[in-house]
Structure 1
Amino acid sequence: MENENINDVAEQELRKLEYRVGELIQTVERLKQENRMLREQNETLTVDRASLVEKNELARTKVEAIITRLRSMEDAVA
C-alpha cells in the first residue's frame, strides 16, 4: 500500500515536471520566433536609417549650395 502511494506521488511529480518542461519548450520556441522577428525588424530599421542619413546629407549639401549662391548674389549687389 505504501509503495503504491510512493508510486502515485512519483507519477504525479513526473507529470508536473513533464508539464513544466512542455511549457518551457513552448516559451523557448516563442522567444526564438520573437527574437528572429526583432532581428529582421532591426535590420530593416538600420537600412531605413542609412537611407534617411543619406537623404539628409544630400539636403544639407543642397541648402549649403543655395546659401552660397545667395551670399554671392548679395555680394554682387552690394
Structure 2
Amino acid sequence: MEQRDLPTELHKLLARIDLLAARMQRLQDENRSLRAQVEQLLSERAQLLSKQEQARSRVEAMISRLKSLEQHT
C-alpha cells in the first residue's frame, strides 16, 4: 500500500466504523423493544392464566351445584 492511499483507506475504514456503529445502535434499540414486548406478553399470559383458573373454578362450582340439585330432586 502506498503512502498516498492511506487517507483513502482511513476514510473507508471510518465510514465502515460509522456504519457498524449505526447498525449496532439499531440492533440495541430493536433488542430493547423486543425485551419489552416479551415482558408485556409474559404479563398478559399470566393474567390470562389467572382468568382461565378463575373460570375453571366457577365452572367446577356450577357443576357441583347442579349435581347437588340433581341428587335432591
Tell me, yes or no, whether TM beats 0.5.
yes
Structure-2 residue corresponding to 1:36: 32
Structure 1 residues not aligned, in runs of 5+ = none
Give the superposition deviation at 1:7: 2.3
RMSD over equivalenced CA pairs, Å:
1.4
Number of residues of Structure 1 aligned to a counterpart in Structure 2: 73
Amino acid at match of 2:39: E
C-alpha separation between the residues in 1 aligned to 2:4 and 2:66?
91
Structure-2 residue corresponding to 1:13: 9
Match of 2:67 among 67, 71, 74: 71
Identity %: 42
Structure 2 residues not aligned, in runs of 5+ = none
When structure 1 is superposed on structure 2, of 46-55 and 57-66 the one drifting more is: 46-55
Q: Whose radius of gyration is greater, 1 or 2?
A: 1
TM-score by length of 1: 0.85
